[in-house]
Structure 1
C-alpha cells in the first residue's frame, strides 16, 4: 500500500513538471520563428530545433523529482546536482520523443545525446548509460514516427501515446540493467503514463497549429482563383502604371498584406497600402531589397525594417517578400508584399506570394504573347496553336477546386502545375519551334494534372535520351499524349500505358507516341488528321491543327503517320534534321 501511495505521489509531482513543459510548448507554437522551423527541413532549421529541444531537455532534468536510495521523494525548485547514489524522475524522455517526432532521427538523436550528457553531469558523472539510452530513444522515435505521420500532420493522439510509451519502455530497460528492479517498480507506471500523456498533448498542440495553417491555405487557395480571374484583364495589358495600380488594389483586397507594390526594372509602378505616401508611382525604386531582386532575379525576404532598406525614416513597413516578375526567364519587374509587423510574415504568406508571382508572370507573358502575335507574319500557324486544348483549363480548375476540400497541399501543387502548363502554352503560341526539353516539361505538367484527376490510371514510359538536343513544334507531343488519354482507353480503369519515344536518325528527328488502347475504327483511320470528325468523344480538331502545322513548317513528308489495331495505336512524326 505504501508503494502505491508513493507511485501516486510521484505521478502528481511529475504531472506538475509536465505542466511546465506543455505551457512552454504552447508558447513556443505561437512564436513565428519556431513555426517556420517545423515547416522547413533545412540543416539550419534542424540546428535550431536541436538547440530548442535541448533547452527543454535540460529544463526537464532540472525540474525533476529526486529519489533517494531508500525511495524517499525530495522536491527542489531546481536539481542542479544530486548524489551518485540517488536517482531522478523527470520529463526528459518526453522531450526527446517529441524532438524525434518533429525533427526526425537526426534531431531526436542529438537532443537525446545532449540531454543524456547533461543528466550525467547533473548526477556527478554517474549513470553514463543515460547517454546511450537517451540517444537511442531519439533515433528510434525519429525513424518510427515517419510511419505514423498522416499527410502533412504529425502522428494522431493515440499513435503519439504509443510512441511515448515505447520510448519510456526503452529507458526503463536500461534502468533495470544498470540501476536495479526496485527503482523501476517505483517509477515505471508514473513515468510511462506521464510520457504517453505528455507526448500526445504536445503533438496535439502542434497538429492544432498545422490544422489551422491548412484551413488558412484552403481559404487562400480559393482567394487565389478569384484574384487570378480579377487581375488577368489588367496584366494582359502589360506592365504599366495603370495595370499595376488596378492589380495592386485587387491583390490587397484578396490578401492580408498591409501593402502591395509592383515595379518595372527602374521605377515604382504602383504601391497600395502602408507607406504609399513615399513609395510613389512613377518614381525610382527606393528600397535596397527591391533593387537587389530586380538585379539578381531572386526572391528575397525581410523580417526587419532594416533589411528592407527604405531610406524614409518613418516608413511603417517591417517585413517583406519581394519576388521577380519574369517573362521567358527574363526579369521585367518585381512584386512586393509588405507587413507592418515582422511576425506577420509566415510560411503561409510566403508560399502564397510565390504562387502569385508565378501566376502574374504567366499573365504578363500572355499579354506580351498577344502583342507579339499581332506582329508575326505566320498568323495561320499561330491561330492553330492558340486553338489547342482550351477545355483542359476548365477541367484543371474544377480539379483544383475539388481538391481544396480534401487535400489543400495537393491543390496548391496542382495550381502550380497549372501555372507551368499555362505559361508554357503561352510561350508556345509565340514560337514555331521550341527546345525538346521545354516541350517535355509542358507534357509533364499536363500529365501531372491528368494523373491528379485520375490517380494510377495511366502509366507513362519515356524513351528519350537525356543528351538529345533538338527543336520541335510546340504542343506536338502533348497533343498526341492527350489524344491517347481521351480516346484510347474507353472506360478501362488500369493497365493503360502510353510510351513516348524521341530518337534521331541521319535524316530525321523521329517522335512516336504509342498506346495499348482499344484502337481506332478502320473507317475513321484515314480521315484522322485530315478533317474534323463528329463523334461522342471529340472532333479530332487538335490532330488536324497539328498536321497542318507540321506540313506548313516542314512539308508533306512530316505529316502524321497513324497506325492502329486492337492492341493499340501508334502515331509518328518525322522532322527533317536539315531544318536545324
Structure 2
C-alpha cells in the first residue's frame, strides 16, 4: 500500500504541475469568466479530456495477484488487471470548473478510454465516470450561479466523495472488487481528494489574485478619471491630449500612450515618440482600422500593429475608439514594448477607459455646443452634474473595492450610465421614457448602495417605453424626494413613480410618504429659489421652467403635500419617438 501511495503521489504531482502551467496560459485564463458559454465549455472539455486520458496512460497497473507494475506509459492491460490512477481527480475538477455538461462529457471520454485500455473489460467505469462528472458538475454549477468557486473544504470533500463513489462501483461490479478496494482505497481516497483540492486551489488563487488586481485598477481608474476630466472635457487638442496621455501613462502599466483625432496624431508619450509625433497623419494599420470600424482592437505583435517605421519598439497594443455622438472622434492607443505584458486584465481596463474618456470628451463637446444654441438656458440645466453626488459615488465605490470588487465594478458601470444620460440631455430636449428610467435606475443603484434598505422606490409604468419627455424629469423628482422628504428617517421611506397615458396626454406622478412640505414654502416651490436648511428648491424651479418653456403653462408642476407625504404631478402632451 505504501508503494502504491508513493507511485500515485508521483502521478498526482504530474497533474498538479500541468495544472499550474495551465492557469498561466492566457488563453485558459480567458475561458474562466466565460465558462457558462457553449464555446468555452467545448474548449474545457478538450482540455480536461486530455488530462483524463493522460491520467489513464500514466496509471499504475495492478495484476490479479495485487502486484504493482509501474510503466512510463500504460497503453493496455489484461482484462483481469486493474489501474490505480488520477482519472477521478480530473473528472471532478472538470465538473467543478465547467459544470455538469463538461463533467459528464469528460467522464464519458475518460470512462470509454479506460474500457478500451482494459480490452473491453470493466465497462462499469463508463457509468461511474459519467455520474462523478455530473455530480461534481452540479456542485460547480451551484457556485457558478453565485459567480464563485467552491471553498477549500467543499472541494476536498467533493474529491473525497467522488472517489468514494468510484470505490463503490469497483466493489459492486469488479470481479476482484473487495481485494482491489482493500489495496487501493486509502491511497486513492487521500491522494485524489488532496489533488482535487490543490488543483482547484491553483485556479481559485489565480481568481483571487485577479480580483485583487481589479480592485487596485478600479481605484486607479477613479483617480485617473478625476485627473483626465479637465483635459478631455476641453476637447481633442495637442495640448490637452499631451497632458492626458502623460496622466494615463502615470496611472497605468502601459509603456507608451498615444492619442489621435480622426486623422492625425495629437500626442505620444513613451517609447516610439521619435516617429509617432504630433501633427503627422496616423501611420499604424491598427489605428486606421479602429478609426474606420469604431471597435477596439488588440495587437499581440509588431506585425499586427503595422507600424511602417523599422525598429519601432512597440510590440503589443490596445487601441480604443473615442466615440462622441455615435461617431469616432479619435483613438486612445496603449502600448507595451514586451508583448507578454498584454493580458486579459489590460483588455478589460481598456474597455472601461474607452467609456469614461468618450464620456469626458462628449461632455466637453456638449458644453461647447450648448453655448451655440438658442435654448442655452434649457441646455445648461440639462448639462448640470451634481459634484456632491459625483464625489459621494466615487467614495462609495472606493469603499466597496475593499469588500466587494464585483459590486464596485457594477457600480462603476452604473456611474458611467448616469453620466452618459446627463450628456445625452445636453444634446436633446426630449428623450424616451426607457432612457429616463435607465438614468433613474443608475442613480438609485449608487444612492441605495450608500444607504442600504433606507429607500423603497417603486415604479408603476403603464406607458410605452418610446413615449417622450424632457431629460431628468423623473430623476429630479425622485432625487428631490430622497434628499428632502424624510428628514433623517432611516426606515419606511417609500417613493412611488407612476407613469400613464390617456388620450393625448402623458401623466407623471412622483409621490412619497415623507413628512410633507411646510405650508409657507409650498406656493414658492417650482417658481422661485427657496431658502431652507434642507435645500434651495433650485432643481424644482429649473424643471418647472423647462416644462413651461417646452409645453406651456399647463405643463407646470402640480405639488400637493400634507403631513403624510408629498406628490408632484406633471401633465404633458404625449409624443412617441419616431426612431
Task: Name the TM-score, length of structure 2 as normaliser.
Answer: 0.92
Q: Helix, strand or coil for the counterpart of 1:78?
A: coil
Rounded Cα–Cα distance in structure 1 between residues aligned with 2:439 and 2:404: 24
Relative distance call for 1:496 and 1:57 in structure 2 (3 A) is farther
Q: Helix, strand or coil for the counterpart of 1:316?
A: coil
**Correspondence for 1:124:** 119
**Correspondence for 2:508:** 511
Contact 1:365/1:427 (8 A) holds in 2: no
The worse-fitting range, judged by mean Cα deviation, of 524-533 and 244-253 is 524-533
Does residue 1:311 correspond to 2:308, yes or no? yes
Superposition pairs of residues 22-171 of structure 1, within 5 angstroms: 22-41=16-35, 42-148=37-143, 152-171=147-166
**Correspondence for 2:428:** 431
How far does residue 579 in structure 1 lie from its aligned partner after superposition?
A: 11
**Correspondence for 2:213:** 216
Relative distance call for 1:169 and 1:520 in structure 2 (3 A) is farther
Partner deviation per Cα, 1:264-322 (whole Å, 9 max, x = no partner): 22222222223333333222222332222222212222233333333334333333222
**Correspondence for 1:259:** 256
Contact 1:39/1:347 (8 A) holds in 2: no
Partner deviation per Cα, 1:358-406 (whole Å, 9 max, x = no partner): 1111110111122112212223323433456332112101101111211
Superposition pairs of residues 8-23 of structure 1, within 5 angstroms: 8-23=2-17
Contact 2:463/2:501 (8 A) holds in 1: no
Superposition pairs of residues 360-371 of structure 1, within 5 angstroms: 360-371=357-368
Partner deviation per Cα, 1:104-134 (whole Å, 9 max, x = no partner): 2222222222222221221112222222221
Rounded Cα–Cα distance in structure 1 between residues aligned with 2:400 and 2:290: 33
Q: Helix, strand or coil for the counterpart of 1:343?
A: helix
Count of residues in Structure 1 that have an aligned counterpart in Structure 2: 574
Rounded Cα–Cα distance in structure 1 between residues aligned with 2:75 and 2:57: 6
Relative distance call for 1:433 and 1:491 in structure 2 (3 A) is same
| Aligned equivalent of 1:329, options 319, 322, 326 | 326
Partner deviation per Cα, 1:139-175 (whole Å, 9 max, x = no partner): 2112213445696542221111011112212222322
Does residue 1:501 correspond to 2:498, yes or no? yes
Does residue 1:399 correspond to 2:396, yes or no? yes
Rounded Cα–Cα distance in structure 2 between residues aligned with 1:578 and 1:202: 60
Relative distance call for 1:304 and 1:39 in structure 2 (3 A) is farther
**Correspondence for 1:3:** none
Rounded Cα–Cα distance in structure 1 between residues aligned with 2:334 and 2:57: 45
Rounded Cα–Cα distance in structure 1 between residues aligned with 2:518 and 2:135: 60
**Correspondence for 1:415:** 412
Task: Name the TM-score, length of structure 1 as normaliser.
Answer: 0.92
How far does residue 518 in structure 1 lie from its aligned partner after superposition?
A: 4.5
Kindly report the root-mean-square deviation, in angstroms, between the aligned alpha carbons of the 2 structures. Answer: 2.4
Rounded Cα–Cα distance in structure 1 between residues aligned with 2:376 and 2:63: 91
Partner deviation per Cα, 1:38-76 (whole Å, 9 max, x = no partner): 233343333222222111111111111111222222211
Contact 1:153/1:210 (8 A) holds in 2: no
Superposition pairs of residues 297-308 of structure 1, within 5 angstroms: 297-308=294-305
The worse-fitting range, judged by mean Cα deviation, of 420-429 and 394-403 is 420-429
How far does residue 522 in structure 1 lie from its aligned partner after superposition?
A: 4.7
Q: Helix, strand or coil for the counterpart of 2:99?
A: helix
Does residue 1:455 correspond to 2:452, yes or no? yes
Rounded Cα–Cα distance in structure 2 between residues aligned with 1:178 and 1:520: 80
